[in-house]
Amino acid sequence: SRKLTERAFVKKASSGALSARVAKDAIRGHGPALRAHHRSVLAFAAACVRAAQDSLARDLGCELYCAAFLEFGCASADGTAAGGAGGGSAFGAFYRQELLGALLSHGGSGVSNEVDAALQVMWYLTEQDVEALKPHAA
């Protein structure tokens, strides 16, 4: 089931068997191939960020959110580069909106580690590509 898979993913992250760097490398440059699995990427990121006392899992979750935001918004639906600041297709805008909604949920959770992780991701995204965030700021 999905919950068992998420738990196994978090356990791998917690043990150090799955690092943030490996996750980032797996996502970067593979956006078109991973688009069909964008909800799973979000679910794994959320499960890791919710890992209350586990900094390795939380770091992995943050990296998944960051890499996914930057990767899934950077190309058009056919995989070619999109023009303009922040680039992206309709899919990219939809995906980014979902991802930002997940971060807002973490931010409103009241769990300090989860809130900190969401703010860390938002800060990183602002530093990397503030233009990509502007369409979602209204």
For residue range 53-87, list pLDDT tens digits in order. 788 999 999 999 999 998 887 644 444 444 333 44
Q: Are 82 and 96 in contact (CB under 8 A)?
A: no
Q: Average pLDDT in the 116-123 region?
A: 95
CB atoms within 10 A of CB 84: 8
pLDDT-above-90 percentage for the chain? 55
Q: Average pLDDT in the 18-37 region?
A: 89
Distance, in Å, from the CA atom of 57 to the CA atom of 20, rounded to the nearest integer, reads 8
pTM check: above 0.75: yes
Residue 53 in tokens: 């006392």
- Angstrom distances, CA of residue 19 to CA of 22, 24, 70: 5, 9, 19
Distance, in Å, from the CA atom of 46 to the CA atom of 40, rounded to the nearest integer, reads 10
